Amino acid sequence: MNWWWPGLSLVVCAAWVGIALFNVFDLLRVPWLPKAGTGRADAGAAGVGSQTDPAGARPSVGAGASERVQVSVIIPARNEQERLPMTLAAWAEQTYSEFEVIVVDDRSEDATGALADAFAQSHPGFRVLHIAQLPVGWLGKNYALQKGAEAAAGSWLLFADADVCFAPDALARTMEYVGRQALDHLTVAPRVVARGYWLRALTALFAYNLVLFKRPHMAHRAKSRAYAGIGAFNLVRKSVYQRMGGHRALALRPDDDIQLGRLVKRVHGRQQFALADQFMQIEWYPSLRDMVKGLEKSPLAAFHYSVGKLVASLIPLLLLYDGPFACALLAPGWWRLAGVGALVIMFLLYFMVNRFLRFPLHQFLVLPVTLCLFIYTFVRSAWQALRRGGLLWRGTLYPLAELRRGL
């Protein structure tokens, strides 16, 4: 086995060099949306420059950023009575004037619908749609988003979650940026709040893996196959949304947010991924247990509901993430340097991705342990789907046979 450590050291080091070369340039250029209270955007992808508004000027968007356009904010809500009031209150305080909010009550079994109705009665521009029954061939959230889009009056659609907290000028600054960059689709990564050491560690690894291999930071490149989409904030031009087929084209996709980005890219819409932790915040999951359970719906869909493909993908992931640690500690002689080099590259990329999260950097040191938790989460999701014969999402079981037809 004398060949084992040298071979593994060379492979993991070469792999991380390749990953870095493929990602670093665009990771460095991910734009930050203008910070609250300023009219300035950091330099980023697609040549974003710094610009400043006159003192006291209100942002605008349109042809040449000269006029406002109407935005329809669509919020699907199922059993969100605890978090929805806070979200609606934040939308009521937005400084952007030309927008409406459509809350789609998706068969809620709590007071979500009643709370939304009461809020809409006292706030002009807020509407509530109630869904009592889910048609065959749809996931609940996707049907809610489709119905909201059909009722929307705006020329822009913003699909947002019911648990996102926004600063008062979030929409105004976003629409200013979209107008200046002439985009068709903007998806924004908010600041993520995670309470608990291992919850933060798993969230960081999930984001790290997603960024390196889905490459949302390259979505702005027209010739790249990369695309982006985040459920907390997907802003899309209505004409482009209709051209891509709306959520009817995503009716049975539990990963509808990122798949929306794929379809926008397919119809040649101009797309960008950006950061906005200064005026958007979300608590993705309140606990590690909730995250492990909540991710039951996502992993298997990414592998076309093939358990074999999912499990097979975890083997190279184990070598890629744990291999450099093992080589740096256990490889003989000078071969350890290859493992150390791979670790240095891994950490630099981890540092760059951590800009999205601002979690403790020392959690990189427990990445081998976190990876075991990551693998457990994926394997558990597949097992649960097989055991149930489908995906259980927000109280509804969707059979695997039906989900496969929706690919």
Angle at 216 between CA 322 and CA 173, to 5 degrees: 130
Higher-scoring residue by pLDDT: 55, 318? 318
d(Cα 220, Cα 44) in Å, to the nearest integer? 11
Residues 6+ apart with CB under 8 A from 194: 200, 203, 283, 284, 285, 359
Confidence of residue 2 (pLDDT cuts 50, 70, 90): low
The domain ranges of the chain are 4-23+296-405, 31-190+230-285
Confidence of residue 302 (pLDDT cuts 50, 70, 90): confident
Other Cβ atoms closer than 10 A to 86: 12
Phi, psi dihedral angles at 306 (to 5 degrees): -105, 110
pLDDT at 1: 53
Confidence of residue 394 (pLDDT cuts 50, 70, 90): confident
pLDDT at 34: 65
d(Cα 182, Cα 184) in Å, to the nearest integer? 7
Using an 8 Å Cβ cutoff, are 76 and 67 in contact?
no
pLDDT at 3: 74
Residue 60 has pLDDT above 60, yes or no: no
Average pLDDT of the segment spanning 343-353: 95
Burial of 193 (0-12, 13-18, 19+ CB in 10 A): middle
Residue 42 has pLDDT above 90, yes or no: no
- Reduced to 3 states, what is the DSSP secondary structure of residue 271? strand
Q: Sheet holding 99-106: strands in order across?
A: 126-131, 99-106, 71-77, 156-160, 233-237, 185-189, 271-275
Residue 280 has pLDDT above 50, yes or no: yes
Residues 6+ apart with CB under 8 A from 7: none
pLDDT at 248: 95
Confidence of residue 200 (pLDDT cuts 50, 70, 90): very high
d(Cα 402, Cα 392) in Å, to the nearest integer? 13
**Residue range 224-274, pLDDT digits in tens:** 999 999 989 999 999 999 999 999 999 999 999 999 999 999 999 999 999
Nearest Cα residue to 84 out of 113, 121, 125: 113
d(Cα 125, Cα 120) in Å, to the nearest integer? 8
Name the CA dihedral angle for 385, 246, 184, 162, rounded to a multiple of 10 degrees: -60
Angle at 316 between CA 302 and CA 329, to 5 degrees: 140
Residue 92 has pLDDT above 60, yes or no: yes
Please provide the CATH number assigned to the domain covering 31-190+230-285.
3.90.550.10
d(Cα 308, Cα 123) in Å, to the nearest integer? 51
DSSP letter (8 states) at residue 48: B
pLDDT at 405: 80
Burial of 164 (0-12, 13-18, 19+ CB in 10 A): buried
Handedness of CA 20, 264, 48, 205 (dihedral sign): negative
Percent over 90 (pLDDT), the chain: 63
d(Cα 245, Cα 247) in Å, to the nearest integer? 7
Percent over 70 (pLDDT), the chain: 91
Average pLDDT of the segment spanning 374-403: 88
Considering just the CA atoms, what is the radius of gyration of the chain in Å? 22
Residues 6+ apart with CB under 8 A from 95: 58, 168, 169, 171, 172
Phi, psi dihedral angles at 376 (to 5 degrees): -60, -45
**Residue range 169-198, pLDDT digits in tens:** 999 989 999 999 999 999 998 888 888 999
Other Cβ atoms closer than 10 A to 74: 27
